[in-house]
């Protein structure tokens, strides 16, 4: 029809894994132009967490940089992940086309859609150096932790509370694309402004009773829930200051308070244990704040009051507040 077209392909990330690096190319973008108009066709691919993904619009060497004003294209500056939209048929200018049933939801997802892959190449190198733990206990723990994470995600998504993988769960994703088998819990972060008073009830309704509640909404809130098979879910609430973020810790027997400082970060999507979840986009800075420069080396004995390089004492809770700020169940 007289259009000039450009096709952008790349390796299929879904075929990448700890054991394999596939070379299969898939189409990501088509850009077709006719006179002064261009059509940008973004190819959405299905991923295993029942969501849609599109790739990065990366220009290979031989591509004419002046083909279209690439910087004006809204999609493809980086990969993106979206909920799978239900579609509806509408007629526009006499043409029957499909659009999302909830167009606003789709439009609102766009600015927050940035997606980062798990680092399979580095994970492979990690497992060459430190053999993977495939004992019966480790396999069972990973299965329970995965189920707990999926249940927590379902619960928080239903409440409309955004969360991300934090602490050891985030380290496991970044370092080895998996749950660390000796970690014994699942760690999530939530910005305090996203806190909702019915979070505790929602988790309890999902079969996750409250194990402890430390701090209060104004200061150092953290919640811990008991999953099955002795795996617990720790939820840390993050507070924003002008130049950093922090979350709090409380020592139950002394009332001592601790503060963990992080450089500011934003949230990106990734895929972890077959689901679409958030992680800090600035993952390396986040992990180095929490675990130092030696985060690549597994450490099995971890003291949350002393080990993290970003921990600092933060005073002590007044005894008159203990009933409110130190609740153990």
The band of 22, judged by pLDDT with boundaries at 50, 70 and 90, is low
- How much is the pTM? 0.94
Give the β-pairing of 210-216 and 219-226. Answer: antiparallel
Same domain for 261 and 124, yes or no, is yes
Last residue of a domain, one of 112, 133, 164: 112
Same domain for 97 and 186, yes or no, is no
Residue range 144-178, pLDDT digits in tens: 999 999 999 999 999 999 999 999 999 999 999 99
Segments forming the whole domain that contains residue 19:
4-112
Does the structure show a pLDDT above 80 at 21?
A: no
Q: Which residues contact 229 (CB under 8 A, 6 or more apart)?
A: 140, 141, 144
Same domain for 219 and 176, yes or no, is yes
Q: Give the three-class secondary structure for 250.
A: strand
Last residue of a domain, one of 92, 112, 132: 112
User: From CA 136, how far away is CA 183, in angstroms rounded?
Assistant: 15
Same domain for 155 and 284, yes or no, is yes
Same domain for 86 and 147, yes or no, is no
pLDDT of residue 44: 97
Same domain for 50 and 128, yes or no, is no
Does the structure show a pLDDT above 80 at 19?
A: no
Same domain for 147 and 91, yes or no, is no
Does the structure show a pLDDT above 80 at 272?
A: yes
Q: What are phi and psi of 57, to 5 degrees?
A: -90, 85
Same domain for 158 and 81, yes or no, is no
User: From CA 268, how far away is CA 253, in angstroms rounded?
Assistant: 37
Last residue of a domain, one of 93, 112, 131: 112
pLDDT of residue 177: 95
**Exposed / middle / buried, residue 271 (Cβ in 10 Å: 0-12, 13-18, 19+):** buried
Same domain for 63 and 183, yes or no, is no
Count CA atoms within 13 Å of residue 327 on its CB side.
16
- The CATH number that applies at residue 165 is 3.30.460
Same domain for 140 and 100, yes or no, is no
Q: Into how many domains does the chain fold?
A: 2
What is the rounded (10 degree) CA torsion for 123, 124, 125, 128? Answer: 120
């Amino acid at each position: 029809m007289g259009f000039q077209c450009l096709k952008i392909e790349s390796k299929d990330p879904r075929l990448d894994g700890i054991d394999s690096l596939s070379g299969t190319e898939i189409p990501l973008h088509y850009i077709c132009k006719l006179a002064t108009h261009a059509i940008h066709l973004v190819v959405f691919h299905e991923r295993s967490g029942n969501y849609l993904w599109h790739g990065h619009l990366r220009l290979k060497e031989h591509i004419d940089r002046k083909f279209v004003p690439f910087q004006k294209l809204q999609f493809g500056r980086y990969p993106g992940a979206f909920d799978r939209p239900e579609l509806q048929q509408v007629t526009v200018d006499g043409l029957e086309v499909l659009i999302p049933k909830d167009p606003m939801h789709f439009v609102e997802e766009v600015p927050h859609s940035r997606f980062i892959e798990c680092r399979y190449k580095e994970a492979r190198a990690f497992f060459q150096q430190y053999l993977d733990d495939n004992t019966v206990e480790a396999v069972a723990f990973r299965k329970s932790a995965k189920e707990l994470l999926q249940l927590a995600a379902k619960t928080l998504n239903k409440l409309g509370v955004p969360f991300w993988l934090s602490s050891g769960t985030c380290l496991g994703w970044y370092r080895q694309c998996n749950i660390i088998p000796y970690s014994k819990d699942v760690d999530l972060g939530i910005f305090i402004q996203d806190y909702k008073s019915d979070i505790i009830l929602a988790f309890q309704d999902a079969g996750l009773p409250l194990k402890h509640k430390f701090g209060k909404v104004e200061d150092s809130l953290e919640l811990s829930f008991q999953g099955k098979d002795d795996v617990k879910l720790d939820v840390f609430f993050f507070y924003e200051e002008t130049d950093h973020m922090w979350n709090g810790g409380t020592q139950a027997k002394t009332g001592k308070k601790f503060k963990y400082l992080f450089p500011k970060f934003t949230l990106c999507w990734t895929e972890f244990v077959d689901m679409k979840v958030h992680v800090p986009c600035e993952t390396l800075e986040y992990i180095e704040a929490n675990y130092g420069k030696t985060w690549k080396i597994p450490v099995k004995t971890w003291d949350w009051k002393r080990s993290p390089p970003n921990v600092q004492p933060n005073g002590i809770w007044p005894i008159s507040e203990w009933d409110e700020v130190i609740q153990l169940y």
